[in-house]
A and B are shown apart, each in its own frame.
Chain A
Amino acid sequence: MGSLAFARELRRATSCGLPPWGVVRMMLELLIALCLVGAFAVFVLPDEYAPKAAFGISLVPLVLSLYMYLTFDGVGNALLGGDIAFESQYQWLTLGSYDVSWFMGLDGISMPLVVLATLLTTLAILASWTPIDMRQSQFYGLMLFMEASLIGVFGALDFLIWFVFWEAVLVPMYFLIGIWGGARRKYAAIKFFVYTNIASIVMFVGFFGLVFGLGDSISSLALPEIAQALRAGELGSLGAFGPEQLALLAFLAMFVGFAVKVPVVPFHTWLPDAHVEAPTPASVMLAGVLLKMGTYALLRYNFTMLPTIARDLAVPIAALGVLSILYGAMLALAQSDLKRIVAYSSVSSMGYVTLGLVAYTMYGTGGATFQMVSHGLISGLLFACVGVIYNTTHTRMVGDMSGLAEKMPVTAGSFIVGAFAYMGLPLMAGFAAEFFVFVGSFDAHFAYSTVLTALAMFGIVIVAGYLLWSMQRTLFGPFRSETDYDVTTASLHDVAPLLVLLVCIIALGTFPYDLAFERVLDATEPILDTTVAAVGGGS
């Protein structure tokens, strides 16, 4: 019995007993509400209780989301007429001729990302105990608020609701960077906020171009309805633009809007600044979950709603993906700040997602989605490691330290394993994801797919170059630290997140299909079927 079948079995077994069906239906809302109430509670709590309270509170959504993951019974893609899990839809208001409803639900693409968000939030909160020493209650309150917004982004199926959550994520991150950040925190926070916000506006315009172009064929802003109408070819003309022009322009606008979030080269420059200045737990969240919002939205909007345009533009998009991989890796090679290295390598790794998405093959699209989860865990792990090192050495410059492996063996060990996971070592999540992407894109439908994939693979050599180099300099050799701080072994609550992530990465790399890939494929497979007839049934 596959794990998905097992989940359905478990769901049937548990739903008749303990949790009433109605509550189970509202699970997502329950998650968000718990985070929001928790955020408020932590916000008003005295500083000394905030860290532990926030950790305790964040465990509840984590456990709940894991339960949801185990009992997940969605079938197919939520936007393309699949059977949505944890679905709830309530009419809210009417804007013009469009109904807006509170429409939430999960499928195999969003479910793993929700778990990723809850898991990384809990671990990031744990990783904040040591470094965050001022305004704790506000810090942890914002973290929980961000968790609520992130769950909302992955769970919302109505455009307006989704957009509210999408923008709401920016607010806590802005404050996390701006208040608890490093020396240039204001610059970084404003750059992050303004850059991504402008991108949101561009995306918003593009999307509403589509909505108005669809005219009377849709009656609500529910994403499934819009997606199915678009795939059924009901896009009309808008103003001077014919349907094809409109679709192209909307695609470009949304692509640029989401590409900033991913980030795709050349829209990436906010990322290193934000990462370097952000406190480490915020970096964990930023790299681990926030970047995935961009690729998630690309998949949900561009690649699901406008597949023909995506296929037409495959070569330039794939080229951008490859450019991100190689250029991002080269930039990482030139850095000497550990956080900048990991930040640029995130740019590089997210390039694999772009490449996989545009391939429109089973392994490509599924692998890209898998890479979102895998990169979330791996980059989270590396940032957390850098954070633990920074906690005790108070420097992140490669040249300022060496031989840390002797003083902090567990942290160093985690860093090494994390780095190898980043390099795509087999039996770890990174290899599985990258291999799926490569296999998927090698003979994809577009021209030069073979050459582009072969080029993209060279990323695994460069990534080995800069990670091995930085490990050799910082972890190995005779012990030396240029700062005056006493380098000591990290405490248990510092290394616990590292170990949890390690276990997740290895488990996901060894059992990718049973743990996640099956669910992912179930949801990505309908996207590939671009024939019009196959889509109509769901609406």
Chain B
Amino acid sequence: MAESLAFEFAPAIAVLPFVSFLVALLAGRYLPKKGAIAGMVATGGSLLLSAWTLFAVHTGHAYQQTLYTWVGGELVDFELTFGILLDPLSTLMLVIVSTIAFLVHMFSLGYMNDDGQTGLPRYYAELGLFTASMLGFVFADNLLMAFMFFELVGLCSYLLIGFWFREAGPPSAAKKAFLVTRFGDYFFLIGVVGVFATFGTSMFGGPGVDDSFVHVAEQALVGEASVNTFGFEPQTWFTILGLLVLGGVMGKSAQFPFHTWLPDAMEGPTPVSALIHAATMVAAGVYLVARMYGFYALSPTALAIIALVGGFTALFAATMAVVKREIKQVLAYSTISQYGYIMLALGGGGYVAGVFHLTTHAFFKALLFLGAGSVIIAMHHNENMWDMGGLKEKMPVTYYAFLSGSLALAGIVPFSGFWSKDEVLYETLVHGLGGSPILLAAYAMGLIAVFFTGFYTVRMVLLTFHGEPRSETAADPEPVRWNVKLPLAVLGVLAAVAGVINLVPVHAVVSAVPEILHDWLYHGPTGLNGEHYHELITNDAFAGYTSGELLGLGETGTLFASAGISLALAVAGSLLALVLYRGPDPAEHTDKLGALKPVLFNNYYQDEYQVWLAEGATVRVARLADRFDRGIIDGLVNFVSSLSLFSGDRLRRVQTGIVTNYAALLTLGLTLLLVAFGVMQGWFV
């Protein structure tokens, strides 16, 4: 009974932040704290409700309910609906999102209110709208609804990146973020429309939903159902659809080559970066892959591409993070890199691993961004790490929380990031060893990225907190209040211990230690649980992955070998950074990179060619079209008009204005007419 009540209240999870959006928008300026309290109450309520639904899903079962029929009725080919789907995956994500949203609201009190910022009602309104859209996206029960909230989340991201619109940088970054993700969403939209055209529904599934597109696709592949596949082989067409949707995923989750917007998005306020550009919106992309994992699991090609993109992005972004000077830039590239890992896990057949890393990353990356925000407050909005140093003694809470997050990011045992990253790599490795060289290549890239991750993380910590202060503000930083410290402390603890939810290597030795997340995700509703995905992955009719072993070490041996390799690399990277940047006054070592230095500083010139594509090429084509339009098409129109004007001008010269001429013409005409009549009548014969 209690669970059904929890499910009844579930829509309020998204509605509450929406109400806080309205409150902040309409009445924010009259409220104390300008809407922050309303936002905290709303997100706090969402958190409680999310936790309640999580508990309800745990004790009872999953829940799916159509709430509103957007388009329906007897005339309609297929209905378009809004509904909620509460299963282990979505409730877990709801809790993550509402937790971080709540903490970010609290942090914003310190970052924005205490800083005397203007436009706070707008800030809290946009934050509320974002939270509502994100939560709506998470519990969406169909692809169309997911797409709609996906877009709304993008709008909020645009608005929040451009929060400081009076400066030149943020609006430009906001535009770039929206455009790049919009480019990805273009493919997503084709995918959504294609899913409707193919299956006539876009339901993800859940209890009571028998004809979800995921399920129908599965049946179509084994010949139990037939759908319109537009002249392709079913598996080819499903791969195409999956890759189209993947376009949106890669845009939102900042995967190569759509990653360029994320570093620029750091122009937004730091709490926004923590909420949107680290823990939630960027997660929306990979969450979508997890949400419709049953569909991707049908296509080995799609999975291989996901893994390859993920592995490459993980490595690619990690190398760029190595040379960055601004603390938020390092974090931005590390975010891109970490989402690469999650993609790698999902592509490599590690559904649980992907969700695990998604969870731990959400906590430790939000923590790192909030920690960076705390440092930025202390440094009076100077983000350059080379002006910092020695902050460890001045702000111990921030330091220890940040350290916890950093160790998790670097993947040092026993912090949460170690467990999840290890599982990501392990899953990819075993499936790669099972006979997929592409997965092995992706794994290799992910593995090398571990080294770089350790390096840039430790470099960041050392430069920021250790050594001697390298500027006056670093020597005398602005103090931060409880509203900054409390979120940091909470997240610091979470980042350290969140790994306990899935201690796979420990479980392998002591089977009494449960794999909580694994069990959690495996007990979902029919067709939407990890067990089913595992069956799909290993079924030859679908992805057809098989597990292999490393050098005949056996399953457990491979597990520990994989963990050992990645831990060794992480430690090696960390130690290298420790050696290079230790001491009171560390030196920049970037010159040693030689020819690589400008390439890395310029982010492999990714921005350059994309800006050229968007501005140079497109605008040039547009100008050309404009010239064609004005010259040729409108020229033709004007030519017709000037032709008639010209001929009219010539013809009117017959009108001399001299009455005598008219009379003569009249007479002549009459005479000619008479003669003509005469000739025709034969008078003159």
Contacts and interface: CB of A to CB of B under 8 A. Distances in A.
**Which interface class (under 10, 10 to 19, 20 to 34, 35 or more) fits A?**
35 or more
A513 B197 contact: no
Contacts of B576: none
B183 interface: yes
B196 A439 contact: yes
B189 A438 contact: yes
A186 to B, nearest CB: 13
A536 interface: no
Given A472-B172, A512-B70, A438 B193 contact: yes
Interface stretch (B449-457, B468-476, B614-622): B614-622
A518 interface: yes
Interface in B155-190: 155, 159, 162, 165-168, 170-172, 174-175, 178-179, 182-183, 186, 189-190
B147 interface: yes
Contact of A425 (B155, B171, B179, B622): B155
Contact of B70 (A403, A472, A513): A513
B167 A521 contact: no
B30 interface: no
Contacts of B162: 476
Nearest to A326: B625
Nearest to B183: A461
Interface string B63-102: 0000001111101110000000000000000000000000
B72 A454 contact: no
Contact of A334 (B77, B183, B186, B626): B626
A468 B179 contact: yes
Contacts of B159: 416
Contact of B641 (A191, A327, A432): A191
B77 A361 contact: yes
Contacts of A518: 73, 75
Contacts of A416: 159
Contacts of B168: 477-478
Contacts of A220: none
A465 B618 contact: yes
B71 A479 contact: no
A457 B190 contact: yes
Interface stretch (B212-220, B353-361, B559-567, B629-637): B629-637
Contacts of A512: 70-71
Nearest to B159: A416
Interface string B133-173: 00000000000100111011001000100100111101110
A420 interface: yes
Nearest to B637: A269
Nearest to B168: A477
B4 interface: no
A268 B73 CA distance: 37
B194 A442 contact: yes
Contact of B76 (A425, A479, A521): A521
A442 B622 CA distance: 27
A269 B149 CA distance: 37
Interface in A418-439: 420, 423, 425-427, 431-432, 435-436, 438-439
A335 B76 CA distance: 40
A425 B633 contact: no
Contacts of B70: 432, 512-513
Contacts of B194: 442
Nearest to A463: B182
Nearest to A2: B73
B230 interface: yes
Interface string A489-532: 00000000000000000000000110001100110010000000
B637 A525 contact: no
B152 A330 contact: no
A363 interface: yes
A443 B228 contact: yes
B167 A426 contact: no
Nearest to B614: A465
B628 to A, nearest CB: 9
B380 interface: no
A439 B619 contact: no
Interface in A258-289: 265-266, 268-270
Nearest to A462: B618
Nearest to B154: A425
A183 interface: no
Contacts of B507: none
A97 B609 CA distance: 69
B623 interface: yes
A235 to B, nearest CB: 29
Contacts of B171: 471-472, 475-477
Interface residues of B, number: 52
A330 B230 contact: no
Given A425-B151, A469-B175, A477-B168, A330 B76 contact: no
A460 interface: yes
A367 to B, nearest CB: 10
A522 B182 CA distance: 34
Interface string B200-244: 000000000000000000000000000010100000000000000
Nearest to A270: B637
A458 B619 contact: no
Contact of B165 (A333, A460, A475, A513): A475
A517 B175 contact: no
Contacts of B174: 472
Contact of A431 (B148, B175, B196, B619): B148
Contact of A461 (B167, B186, B629, B634): B186
A439 B193 contact: yes
A462 B75 CA distance: 33
B641 A194 contact: yes
Nearest to A406: B166
A333 B167 CA distance: 24
A362 interface: yes
Contacts of B186: 457-458, 460-461
Contacts of A475: 165, 171
B334 to A, nearest CB: 28
B652 to A, nearest CB: 18
A450 B230 contact: yes
A525 B634 CA distance: 38
Given A330-B621, A477-B165, A457 B77 contact: no
Contacts of A333: 618-619, 622
A410 to B, nearest CB: 12
Contacts of B228: 443
Interface in A357-374: 361-363
A464 B626 contact: no
Contacts of A420: 155
A22 B533 CA distance: 66
A426 B633 contact: no
Contacts of A265: 633
Given A426-B152, A465-B614, A443 B197 contact: yes
B178 A330 contact: no
Contacts of B189: 435, 438, 457, 460
A521 B77 CA distance: 11
A53 interface: no
Given A426-B151, A476-B162, A478-B166, A464 B71 contact: no
Contacts of B190: 453-454, 457
A440 to B, nearest CB: 9
B134 to A, nearest CB: 14
Given A269-B633, A425-B152, A457-B190, A513 B618 contact: no
B165 A330 contact: no
Given A442-B194, A468-B179, A479-B166, 13 more contacts: A269-B634, A270-B637, A327-B629, A331-B625, A334-B625, A406-B166, A435-B193, A457-B189, A460-B189, A461-B182, A465-B179, A465-B614, A475-B171
Q: Closest 9 CB pairs between A and B?
A: A426-B148, A476-B171, A334-B626, A333-B622, A334-B622, A269-B634, A476-B165, A468-B175, A443-B197
10 contacts: A195-B637, A270-B637, A333-B619, A406-B166, A427-B152, A457-B193, A469-B175, A476-B171, A477-B167, A521-B76
